[in-house]
Chain A
Amino acid sequence: MSYLKLDAIDKRFGNVAAVSGLNLEVAPGECVAMLGPSGCGKTTTLRMVAGFEDIDGGEIRAGDKVLSSKAKNYYLPPEKRDFGMVFQAFAVWPHLSVFENIAFPLRIRKLPADEIRRRVDEALRHTNLTALADSRPDDLSGGGKQRIALARALAIRPKVMLLDEPLSSLDPHFREEMRFEIKDIQRRLGFSILYVTHDQSEAMALSDRILVMKQGVVQQIGSPRDVYYRPANRFVFSFIGLSSFLRVRFTGGRMQVDDLALPFDAVDEAPAELVGVGEGVLAVRPSDVDFVDEGGLRGTVRRRSSLGEIVDYQIAVGSQTLRVQKTRHEPGPQVGETCGVRFAMSNWYPLTDASEG
């Protein structure tokens, strides 16, 4: 049975549909990331799960307990939902010590003093804060405060943790470290995570499944590999990872980019359904483009930037531009040279994709 179930969730602010028809089930021990541009409804969804917003349609359940239900007009307030939650700005109370911050939810639940002590110590250990138990939060860095917030959420031994962009206020180099710390703690303690982020590499690194949202509508739910290799539409394709697009015409049994021929062996598959339509968009990842000496789609190197380990090319193909990325160990043409490219993996989309509208 899933730990968390969101069933046909709707939410409106005035006339705007912030979330429409969202369905999601989070299994025990699973980490699901909600990913999308700002304003897509991911934070609103998280807040509905937490109980800070009510729902305009559908039902939210945890296990067999109903948390919010529009039909039954039922709403359980946040303080009764037993979730652990970590906020973007940490929300650690500056007037309480680290220990007291973590103990707060346990004191509210009126646990006996020795049990409180035990659980706080345990949470401190999981987050490497044992030495700082008596410090004031303002003495700690951003990363330290985030750990306090994490420990406080862990103290009640929740089945589900809700994380609202927990790492975006941290220093970039610290973010990576904390990412894996959270993952390790999750593995050790076995809770589920519902995670909101706008950083797709974070979502990819941390989650078992990713839910991609745009303007309140779920675009795709799948594993990181799913959303990367088999994106449901053009929006998901361009939101996850780098992308480059070419307009392709299908005439007289051939494919063309502007006036240039696109050989059939330069793509991994040609789309049967678009051939009839006459044109389409070839979407590729810059790292999935290979240089070939002969054949392939011909183009000229307009820009070659060495970005350290990666070399970034801008190839002019007719009037269009193609972006290619290779590691520095792989050979490639210089600026001004003509070259041929082959697309190791390609995605095809119609010229006007509804998702980009």
Chain B
Amino acid sequence: MTGSFRFGTPQILFGLAVAILVIFVAVPVLLIFFNALWVNGSLNIADMVKVLSERETYKALINSLILASGVTVTGTIVGTFFAWLVTRTDLPYKGAMKVLFLVPFMLPSFIGALAWKMLLSPRSGYINRFFIETLGFPGPIFDIYTYQGIILVETMYLFPFVFIQVCGALERMDPTLEESARISGADLFTITRKITIPLVAPSILSGALLIMLYSMAHFGTVAMLGIEAGIYNIPTLIYERIHQSAGSFAAIRTGTVLSTVLVIAAALIIWLQNRVLSKGRYQIIAGKSFRPTEIRLRGLRLPLLAFCIAYIGFTIVLPTTTIFLVGGLKTYGLPIAVENMTFDNYHHILFEWDLTRDAIWNSIGLGLAAALITMFAGVIISYVIVKMKVPGKGMLEFLGMLPFSVPGSVIALGVILAWSGKYGVNIYNTIWIILVAYIARYMAFALKANSAALEQVHDSLVEAARASGATMWQALRDIVIPLVRPGMVAAFFLIFLPALRELTVSVLLYGPTTRTIGVAIYTLNEDGETVYAAAMAGVALIIIVTAEVVVKRVFKIEK
């Protein structure tokens, strides 16, 4: 489709798109690199290396790697196993299981970490106390403040990455690929081994890489469970340094150096993931509607069902119940019994305490604002990238996708560097700096959702409108916008929901009156107000789940 605008409309749109991306995305990231690599006005890599070889920084790097690798391995195994179980066997209640396995995705993992803390902290965790006091064990059966503990909790909330990808691949796979193996003489287990798994390997790998990426960039769980034991990863070390020194130059420097490493690692992973998906992915999508034959589990049917239910109970029901129960305790540490329960905590945080009340409204406001702004910006930029033939749009695409490989902590840091007064605008410690960070962080999602929707609008649809007598603007109004609207709505919710429960970014940017829900929970926990933290977490869960359900309803209507 030609840019058949007259005078400068394409240029205006293009300029706008570039401006948005440069100001919000490129500048913060560039400043990070600049700060890390330039010392006193000149390029200095040696100094960077020096910072990295300090004992604590070095350890943080290694820990990030260890934790991420551990979570990736366990998460991949768990995710693949459940995906196979739910799509290829005759497990009962498969449909329900599929939905339930996706629930962890909805729950913020730091809330999960909080719950597990309350259950398995070595001295005061309820499970440990039960084993010691009631069953007479000598010591705690599991100490959550360990590498294993962190990996355990992260796995529970990250395995859906692999689960979703593998489920999708297995469901879309052409069943005749397996049928031809059957007719060639192979039984169902041989087929799974030699045909099915190798063919979905790219999806498995892709999901695994996503787990790795998220784990490396993750703040919440490691902060909740690792700081106690001195286990720091990159985001938590950055946080600690900056917080302790109230933003000193040295701390920021450590932060930017670590960020650079993180960004490079993340970029590497994204690149790998793209290659795996594009080259490794075989054309195995089915056309016909015959479904693949199920493997009969026979004797294993009920035990495996029990296992799945136990898993779901363990990873979803147990922590959630704990959160709500502890949130209702009069004081932390009291045994859970009716006489120790009260609604006062919930009442307090919702209606009386402005710290928590503000946090809730801040998060909702920030979520809505960020979602709206990125939705509209996303449409404009996507349109330029997908539909317009202007030189330099490759650069736009790159800038737009940049935030994917820039972890939250890095964006927060970059935003601090950019908007703390050095360049004229000082919004540090205000709600605006968090908003700006959110826009940067979530722009990539908006672009992806809108691009996908725009690509569905074939050029011939617009050309048919032109041939029917419509000008370019009329065609946009009558054809493109209505067809892209579902994509825009999807983008909105793709951003609103994560923004609601976000922690990694806002924890580096909050001020006394600008806490978010995540920050409120975290700081309450840090200050030892465990019961209030739990109550806040409970409220957060309710808000998040309600929002998710509303979104699903809205989507059903839209469709």
**Per the CB under 8 Å rule, do A and B touch in the complex?**
yes
Identify the A interface with B (CB < 8 A): 47, 50-52, 77-85, 87-89, 91-95, 104-105, 108-109, 138, 149, 152, 156, 162
Q: Are B283 and A79 in contact (CB under 8 A)?
A: no
Counting chain A CB atoms within 10 Å of each CB, the highest count among B174, B184, B286, B288 belongs to B184
Quick one: closest A residue to B179, CB to CB?
A52
Q: Are B180 and A87 in contact (CB under 8 A)?
A: yes
Q: Are B184 and A108 in contact (CB under 8 A)?
A: yes
Could you give 26 example pairs across A and B, Cβ below 8 Å? A51-B183, A52-B182, A52-B290, A77-B182, A79-B187, A81-B183, A84-B183, A87-B180, A89-B176, A89-B287, A91-B174, A91-B177, A91-B180, A93-B180, A93-B181, A94-B282, A94-B284, A95-B198, A95-B199, A104-B186, A105-B184, A105-B186, A108-B185, A108-B190, A138-B282, A156-B185
Quick one: closest A residue to B198, CB to CB?
A95
Nearest chain A CB to B291 CB, angstrom units: 10
Q: Are B288 and A88 in contact (CB under 8 A)?
A: yes
Besides A78-B179, A105-B185, 7 other A-B contacts (C-beta < 8 A): A50-B183, A79-B187, A81-B183, A88-B288, A95-B199, A104-B184, A108-B184
Nearest chain B CB to A179 CB, angstrom units: 21
Nearest chain B CB to A119 CB, angstrom units: 13
Q: Which of A81, A104, A149 is the one whose CB lies under 8 Å from B181? A: A104
A105 partner residues in chain B, CB cutoff 8 A: 184-186
B420 partner residues in chain A, CB cutoff 8 A: none
**B386 CB-CB contact with A under 8 Å:** no
Nearest chain A CB to B433 CB, angstrom units: 49
Quick one: closest A residue to B182, CB to CB?
A78
**B195 CB-CB contact with A under 8 Å:** yes
8 Å CB interface, B163-185 against A: 174, 176-177, 179-185
Q: Are B185 and A109 in contact (CB under 8 A)?
A: yes
The 10 A-B residue pairs with the shortest CB-CB distance, nearest first, are: A105-B184, A91-B176, A91-B180, A94-B282, A108-B185, A87-B176, A78-B182, A85-B183, A79-B185, A95-B198
Binary flags per residue of B439-471, CB closer than 8 Å to A gives 1, else 0: 000000000000000000000000000000000
**B274 CB-CB contact with A under 8 Å:** no
Alpha-carbon distance A88/B185, docked complex (angstroms): 19
Q: Are B199 and A94 in contact (CB under 8 A)?
A: yes
Quick one: closest B residue to A169, CB to CB?
B287
**B9 CB-CB contact with A under 8 Å:** no
Quick one: closest B residue to A104, CB to CB?
B184
Given A95-B199, A108-B190, also A156-B287 (CB < 8 A) = no
**B293 CB-CB contact with A under 8 Å:** yes
A83 partner residues in chain B, CB cutoff 8 A: 183
B194 partner residues in chain A, CB cutoff 8 A: 104
Given A87-B179, A95-B282, A108-B190, also A156-B184 (CB < 8 A) = yes
Alpha-carbon distance A108/B195, docked complex (angstroms): 13
B282 partner residues in chain A, CB cutoff 8 A: 94-95, 138
Quick one: closest A residue to B201, CB to CB?
A95
Nearest chain A CB to B288 CB, angstrom units: 7
Nearest chain B CB to A109 CB, angstrom units: 6
B174 partner residues in chain A, CB cutoff 8 A: 89, 91
Q: Are A79 and B183 in contact (CB under 8 A)?
A: yes
Binary flags per residue of B274-289, CB closer than 8 Å to A gives 1, else 0: 0000000011101110
Please classify how large the interface on chain B is, using the bins under 10, 10 to 19, 20 to 34, 35 or more.
20 to 34
Alpha-carbon distance A92/B283, docked complex (angstroms): 11
Alpha-carbon distance A82/B182, docked complex (angstroms): 10
Binary flags per residue of B358-375, CB closer than 8 Å to A gives 1, else 0: 000000000000000000
Nearest chain A CB to B293 CB, angstrom units: 7
Quick one: closest B residue to A52, CB to CB?
B179
A52 partner residues in chain B, CB cutoff 8 A: 179, 182, 290, 293
B180 partner residues in chain A, CB cutoff 8 A: 85, 87, 91-93, 149, 152
Q: Are A94 and B185 in contact (CB under 8 A)?
A: no
Given A52-B293, A91-B177, also A79-B182 (CB < 8 A) = yes
Q: Are A78 and B198 in contact (CB under 8 A)?
A: no
A152 partner residues in chain B, CB cutoff 8 A: 180, 184
Given A52-B179, A52-B293, A87-B176, also A93-B184 (CB < 8 A) = no
Alpha-carbon distance A91/B179, docked complex (angstroms): 8
Alpha-carbon distance A81/B185, docked complex (angstroms): 8
A47 partner residues in chain B, CB cutoff 8 A: 290
Q: Are A94 and B283 in contact (CB under 8 A)?
A: yes
Nearest chain B CB to A77 CB, angstrom units: 7
Nearest chain A CB to B238 CB, angstrom units: 42
Alpha-carbon distance A162/B179, docked complex (angstroms): 13
Nearest chain B CB to A213 CB, angstrom units: 18
Alpha-carbon distance A77/B181, docked complex (angstroms): 12
Nearest chain B CB to A87 CB, angstrom units: 4
B179 partner residues in chain A, CB cutoff 8 A: 50, 52, 78, 85, 87, 91
Q: Are B199 and A93 in contact (CB under 8 A)?
A: yes
Nearest chain A CB to B184 CB, angstrom units: 4
Given A87-B180, A91-B177, A91-B179, also A108-B199 (CB < 8 A) = no
8 Å CB interface, B286-327 against A: 286-288, 290, 293
Quick one: closest B residue to A47, CB to CB?
B290
Alpha-carbon distance A78/B282, docked complex (angstroms): 25
Quick one: closest B residue to A85, CB to CB?
B183
Alpha-carbon distance A80/B182, docked complex (angstroms): 9
Alpha-carbon distance A92/B181, docked complex (angstroms): 9
8 Å CB interface, B136-182 against A: 174, 176-177, 179-182
Nearest chain B CB to A58 CB, angstrom units: 21
Nearest chain B CB to A149 CB, angstrom units: 7
Alpha-carbon distance A83/B286, docked complex (angstroms): 23
Quick one: closest A residue to B184, CB to CB?
A105
Q: Are A108 and B186 in contact (CB under 8 A)?
A: yes
